Structure 1
Amino acid sequence: MVAKGIKPSIKIIRTGPRASFLVACVLFITGLQGCAEKPEQLVFSGLVMGTTYQVKIVPNNIVVSNNLADQIHERLQSLDATFTTYQKTSELMKLNQSPINQPLVVSEELFEVLTITKKIYQETNGAFDPTVGALVNLWGFGPDYMDQVIPPSEAIAQHLSSVGLNHLLLDKQASTATRQSDIHLDLSAVAKGYAVDEVAELLASHGIENYLVEVGGELRLNGHKANGERWRIAIEQPFPGQSGGQEDAVQEVLALENVAVATSGDYRNYFEKGGKRYSHTIDPRTGYPIDHNLASVTVIAQTAARADALATAMMVLGPEGALTLAEQNDLAVYLLVKRVDGFEPKTTTVFSQYLLGE
């Protein structure tokens, strides 16, 4: 599982002058010839879930509701209130604080995300496990500030005993979730993707067919851009220690439509002790940071929630394990593997169809 932080590995390819990113829920219209004409593209953006979001819409002949920006923002804020671990009154925190072996009725949104989470947990043999938060904190990468030191093995073993999504029981008919041991869930590695999917569903309910939705680096793209081309997304080339103060180098450009995409990486959040690098990605099966040479993984799937969770799991599995899982399940995956002289890309068979080839 990956600790919270910046997810810089995907960016939107823009045409024309580079626009600054808006940090309020406002409307930005491009391609206007006059106030009475319909815009070629609408852009809404703002802050949510401790990160930014951006929604691009190509209306074509669709009349866009005047309050669509508010609807998007309100939907995202509602989901944030459900899944945040920073408010003790959130629905997720109420589940974390619920008595052991006592079923708790949960909302449709929380039950759906928990169901997705359990599925990915099972598919990855525990590599994706949102109960790993206590170990992330122990290693100094969580929201609770701690010195970044190597914990004693006894402490790791103690915290590891409280990790395991298999200790969460879901009852679909009753819409309940039951903690069967003292586990604590942090759904940040799937909630942003789910939020992307929910905004996409909102747009679809308005009859909007051409859009790009992005929350914290997780994306869902449908239809095409204003010029009729597929949406273009860049996979960033990783640089260890990069702080974002310079223009990011592009590793690969993707041409996408009607899919979701998520990237996870370990190259911007780590510490070093005794000449060894300790990643912020903690393997929930061992309690220790990952120790392999996979720098980043990009996953394309039908939903952003699934792509988000799988990308996190594959960072835990490492290059060989990730490729094996992806090929066995016919997943579109792009890996960047650290080598002495740079990065080596590795892709699954089905991923090649998305490469722009320029």
Structure 2
Amino acid sequence: MQRTCFFFLLTTLLTAVGCNQEKPGGNATSYIILEGQTMGTYYGLNYADSLGRNFQPAIDSLLEEINLGVSTYIESSLISKFNQATSTFILEDTLSGPGRHFLENFHVAKKVFHQSSGAFDPTVMPLVNYWGFGYTPKRQMMAVDTATIDSLLHFVGFDKVTLSGKVLKKSLPGVQLDFGGCAKGY
């Protein structure tokens, strides 16, 4: 018992000393903790900065930019505009801003689609909405309508979307993208 108590106290002491290390020159490292909400979830970020700068505005700005590219919950986002388009959608700027994030997520989704042999398919948005997990209003589902599901499956398949330069085309007007399976980790 005494031995266990000794090791516990020693571990606590070493941890306390280790966490209070000073940098050469006598300045203690201070950590900045940022928290926020984005994409329907929360984030936390801890970082050390000898100048004590607060990067919260820059981080929030970047997350907002990503949302404007890939959030299906924002009507003015690029992905929402693509989903509302009937056939052709042109990305104005793919080198910066929301267009860059949309395009990068498109390529990530395409890569995962191929690596998973189609098990991951970002064109499932019509089904996501049917089951009540998407941007459409939630509804109580009393019974599964297999005919509706079959009709929605007609719009699912990443082969129904093509990208050539900045031009995205869908083979059917009801085809919609959902990067929710990869955008949060992006």
Which bracket does the TM-score occupy, shorter chain normalised? Answer: 0.7 to 0.9
Kept in 1, the 8 Å contact 2:70–2:79? The answer is yes
Matches within 5 A, 1:236-251: none
Cα separation, 1, equivalents of 2:83 and 2:180: 14
SS state at 1:151 partner: coil
Kept in 2, the 8 Å contact 1:98–1:104? The answer is no
Kept in 1, the 8 Å contact 2:36–2:42? The answer is yes
The TM-score with structure 2 as length reference comes to: 0.73
Q: Which letter does structure 1 place at the counterpart of 2:130?
A: L
For residues 65-93 of structure 1, what are the alpha-carbon distances to aligned partners after superposition, in whole Å with 9 as ceiling and x for unaligned? Answer: 62422211211122112212122211111
Give the % identical residues.
27
Kept in 2, the 8 Å contact 1:139–1:150? The answer is no
Q: Which residue of 2 is the match for residue 93 of structure 1? A: 80
Task: Tell me the CA shift for residue 64 of structure 1.
Answer: 4.9
Task: Tell me the CA shift for residue 148 of structure 1.
Answer: 3.0
Q: Which letter does structure 2 place at the counterpart of 1:180?
A: S
Name the count of aligned residue pairs: 158
Q: Which residue of 1 is the match for residue 64 of structure 2? A: 77
For structure 2, the 5+ residue unaligned runs are: 1-11, 13-18, 93-98
Cα separation, 2, equivalents of 1:180 and 1:129: 16
Cα separation, 2, equivalents of 1:140 and 1:48: 20
Matches within 5 A, 1:136-155: 136-143=128-135, 144-155=137-148
For residues 36-59 of structure 1, what are the alpha-carbon distances to aligned partners after superposition, in whole Å with 9 as ceiling and x for unaligned? Answer: 9443432211111121111122x3
Alpha-carbon spacing, 1:32–1:78, altered in 2? closer, same or farther (3 Å): farther
**Cα RMSD over matched residues?**
2.5
Alpha-carbon spacing, 1:142–1:91, altered in 2? closer, same or farther (3 Å): closer
Alpha-carbon spacing, 1:142–1:149, altered in 2? closer, same or farther (3 Å): farther
In terms of mean alpha carbon deviation, does 83-92 or 158-167 score higher? 83-92
Q: Are residues 1:109 and 2:101 paired?
A: yes
Q: Which residue of 2 is the match for residue 265 of structure 1? A: none
Task: Tell me the CA shift for residue 32 of structure 1.
Answer: 9.6
Q: Could you say which structure has the higher strand fraction? A: 1
Q: Which letter does structure 2 place at the counterpart of 1:113?
A: N
Q: Are residues 1:164 and 2:157 paired?
A: yes
Q: Which letter does structure 1 place at the counterpart of 2:113?
A: Y
Q: Which letter does structure 2 place at the counterpart of 1:146?
A: R
Cα separation, 2, equivalents of 1:135 and 1:41: 44
Cα separation, 2, equivalents of 1:103 and 1:134: 18
Task: Tell me the CA shift for residue 124 of structure 1.
Answer: 1.0
SS state at 2:168 partner: strand
Task: Tell me the CA shift for residue 189 of structure 1.
Answer: 1.4
For structure 1, the 5+ residue unaligned runs are: 1-15, 17-29, 195-358
Q: Are residues 1:135 and 2:121 paired?
A: no
Q: Could you say which structure has the higher helix fraction? A: 2
Following TM superposition, where does structure 1 have runs of at least 4 consecutive aligned residues deviating by more than 4 angstroms? Answer: 30-33
Cα separation, 1, equivalents of 2:103 and 2:110: 10
The TM-score with structure 1 as length reference comes to: 0.40
Q: Which residue of 1 is the match for residue 46 of structure 2? A: 56
Cα separation, 1, equivalents of 2:128 and 2:89: 27
Cα separation, 1, equivalents of 2:91 and 2:129: 28
Kept in 1, the 8 Å contact 2:72–2:79? The answer is yes
